[in-house]
Structure 1
């Protein structure tokens, strides 16, 4: 019984092993640096589409077609190139590392722009608050000066002869 079980496991393992053909380099292979750009753009488009799918659908935007037109490639060329690079693990890992670096660089740039915009908005708000306080202070000064003028007029109405000198 044990021999039959071992024989069955051996036959299953042997039949599961198959020769894997190496992916041949396509004639129209997309260059590695261009592939990085294409995959970066695909990542951005996928994120945008997932963020607001209805907007994409209502505008009739087809991200794949946009990317193919932008980079002057077709879907078959992309698929063959992607399959070739995927079969070469180290090269594919390098491509995706560069894609990740590109996306991180874009994120860092957007974060710095947001920070500049935040500081600018804070400065505008502070300037508006300062302007409002200056306007209130100037109104207070004007009202104080009017009060002073009124006090002087009252004093000038007093008859100087009626003041007793001690």
Structure 2
């Protein structure tokens, strides 16, 4: 029941997020029911049972919440790592771009001064 409640929280939260096709307000609950091979009626029956034993239901809810918080922390850590990798990659590209820009700048200065770069022929003489 705890896993089911976790998936239901995720599904209900995802309803307001855009999916890959940039669509919002999609009801993901049927997918959750399908995953657990139940229907909404069976869920309601189980939910009523656990609500009648409030101590057990409270324990299930707390466990589900703790697990969701743990998953959230894991995803935050992964996101932080990916963001730092992205920033490192951008910094490397900028550094390399600065090198290329300086080479282009030097080459354009040589052209403006009408100075020819040494070639193999001029070096052989």
| 141 and 46 in structure 1: CA distance in 2 versus 1, 3 angstrom threshold | same
In the other structure, the counterpart of 2:48 is 83
Higher helix proportion (structure 1 or 2) = 1
In the superposition, the TM-score normalised over structure 2's length comes to: 0.72
Query: Where in structure 2 are the equivalents of 1:87-166 lying within 5 Å?
Result: 87-139=52-104
**Residue 55 of structure 1 aligns to a residue in which SS?**
coil
Give the Cα separation in 1 of the matches to 2:7 and 2:99.
51
Q: Which moved more, 1:95-104 or 1:135-144?
A: 135-144
In the other structure, the counterpart of 2:11 is 45
* Two-structure CA RMSD over aligned residues (Å): 2.6
**Residue 58 of structure 2 aligns to a residue in which SS?**
helix
Kindly name which structure, 1 or 2, has the bigger radius of gyration based on alpha carbons.
Answer: 1
| 112 and 139 in structure 1: CA distance in 2 versus 1, 3 angstrom threshold | same
**Cα drift, residue 48 of structure 1:** 1.1
**Cα drift, residue 102 of structure 1:** 1.9
Give the Cα separation in 2 of the matches to 1:87 and 1:122.
52
Determine whether 1:36 maps to 2:2: yes
Q: Is residue 17–residue 24 contact of structure 2 (8 Å, CA) maintained in 1?
A: no
**Residue 69 of structure 2 aligns to a residue in which SS?**
helix
In the superposition, the TM-score normalised over structure 1's length comes to: 0.56
Q: Number of paired residues?
A: 111
Q: Which has the higher contact order (CA 8 A, sep 6+)?
A: 1
| 142 and 45 in structure 1: CA distance in 2 versus 1, 3 angstrom threshold | same
